[in-house]
């Protein structure tokens, strides 16, 4: 099969996928509108059927997540378009220690929450960034990005030590998880084949754009810039099409959990034993899939009835790994890697929260 036939086949597949998306939109939009309109009446007749509360929760979570999703998609598409493997090989720190430092600094500077850090992570790995550094970036960004830090200081204005401990423990956990992949390196490529194929295709397109023999001398710069911008917009569109269904599914599950917890979640999870409270709060953080820019407000409401160490693990584990992040990781990465990363993050967060429980006695 020649190249033109492959391009035609790919275009036909893309058109079929778009047609399916539009058909789903035409059928799904009226159905969703009907459910939203009927929800108050349904819940009024059957109070146990918390559909109105769930829909309000979905709307609130989507309003929180979408702005940061757009920011993350812009960053991820920029990595896909302009950050090449050669660029990373040339500019990436040569030592592991410097790579970890660069990953932490990137987490502090990049205003990307946990909602869309996974696509950026997978593209950095595809561009040959060392895996330990990419994992450190993946774990650090949701916790230490400037928006999350400011939100935590605001929510715990009367206890700034909580925000400081969140930052310190978040950096420590990110380094510990990244270091585990230095000590026990992954022996196979962690990305799924389709991600690698997309990366090779993208690099091939970039090479064609930069091949001066295909362009006239006077128009090469203009054509290259316009083609790169067009490619950037295409990547934004592709990322949104892929991420929005995952985020919607995650927010629906999270809203069901929050509807069950009620307006006062602390009343459902009152636990004084640290060894029980910590796993319970890790499970709630994973299932609720809160945006890392807003989870501090929920954590503040829990602080009155739970040990502070369990509140901290809620602020640490949820941003690093929750339901929607897991769905994105499964989409891009092999199952064995996802299992290992999940267990490593959970173990590191559990240890960090026990350390926080010991340290809080000296701080409080």
* pLDDT at 30 > cutoff 90: no
Q: Per-residue confidence at 268, pLDDT binned at 50, 70, 90?
A: low
Q: For residue 53, what are its two tokens?
A: 């509360």
Place of tokens 């609130």: 60
Domain residue limits, the chain = 50-363
What DSSP character marks residue 191? B
CB 136 within 8 A of CB 104: yes
Q: How buried is residue 108: exposed, middle or buried, by Cβ count under 10 Å (0-12/13-18/19+)?
A: middle
Report the pLDDT averaged over residues 202-230. Answer: 56
Residue 290 CA to residue 272 CA, distance in Å, equals 24
Residue 81 CA to residue 229 CA, distance in Å, equals 8
Query: pTM for the full model?
Result: 0.70
Count CB atoms within 10 A of the CB of residue 97. 9
Report the pLDDT averaged over residues 114-126. Answer: 82
Asked which of 102-116, 303-317, 319-333 is least confident by mean pLDDT, the reply is 102-116
Residue 249's closest CA among 161, 183, 305, 326? Answer: 326
Mean pLDDT of the chain: 76
Q: What percent of the chain lies above the pLDDT cut of 90?
A: 19
3-state secondary structure of 333: strand
CB 311 within 8 A of CB 349: no
pLDDT in tens, 284-303: 889 877 777 677 877 886 77
Residue 314 CA to residue 49 CA, distance in Å, equals 28
Question: Quick one: pLDDT at residue 348?
Answer: 96
């Amino acid at each position: 099969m020649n190249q033109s036939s492959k391009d035609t086949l790919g275009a036909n597949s893309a058109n079929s996928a778009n047609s399916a998306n539009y058909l789903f939109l035409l059928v799904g939009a009226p159905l969703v509108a009907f459910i939203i309109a009927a929800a108050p009446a349904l819940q009024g007749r059957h109070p146990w059927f918390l559909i109105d509360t769930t829909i309000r929760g979905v709307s609130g979570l989507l309003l929180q997540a979408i702005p940061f999703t757009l920011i993350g998609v812009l960053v991820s598409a920029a990595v896909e378009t302009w950050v090449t493997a050669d660029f990373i090989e040339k500019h990436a720190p040569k030592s592991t220690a410097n790579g970890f430092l660069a990953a932490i600094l990137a987490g502090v500077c990049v205003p990307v929450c946990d909602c869309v850090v996974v696509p950026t992570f997978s593209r950095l790995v595809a561009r040959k960034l060392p895996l330990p550094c990419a994992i450190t970036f993946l774990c650090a960004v949701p916790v230490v990005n400037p928006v999350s830090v400011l939100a935590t200081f605001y929510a715990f204005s009367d206890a700034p030590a909580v925000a400081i401990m969140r930052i310190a423990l978040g950096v420590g956990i990110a380094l510990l998880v990244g270091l585990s992949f230095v000590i026990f390196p992954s022996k196979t490529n962690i990305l799924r084949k389709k991600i690698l194929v997309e990366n090779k295709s993208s690099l091939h397109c970039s090479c064609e754009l930069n091949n001066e023999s295909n362009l006239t001398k006077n128009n090469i710069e203009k054509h290259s810039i316009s083609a790169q911008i067009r490619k950037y917009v295409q990547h934004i569109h592709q990322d949104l099409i892929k991420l929005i269904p995952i985020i919607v599914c995650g927010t629906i599950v999270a809203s069901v959990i929050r509807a069950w917890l009620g307006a006062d979640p602390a009343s459902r999870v009152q636990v004084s034993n640290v060894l029980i409270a910590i796993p319970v709060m890790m499970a709630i953080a994973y299932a609720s899939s809160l945006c890392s820019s807003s989870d501090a407000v929920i954590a503040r409401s829990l602080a009155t009835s739970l040990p502070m160490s369990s509140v901290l693990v809620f602020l640490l584990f949820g941003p690093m790994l929750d339901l929607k992040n897991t769905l994105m990781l499964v989409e891009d990465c092999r199952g064995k890697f996802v299992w290992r990363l999940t267990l490593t993050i959970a173990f590191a967060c559990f240890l960090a929260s026990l350390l926080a429980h010991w340290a809080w006695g000296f701080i409080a």
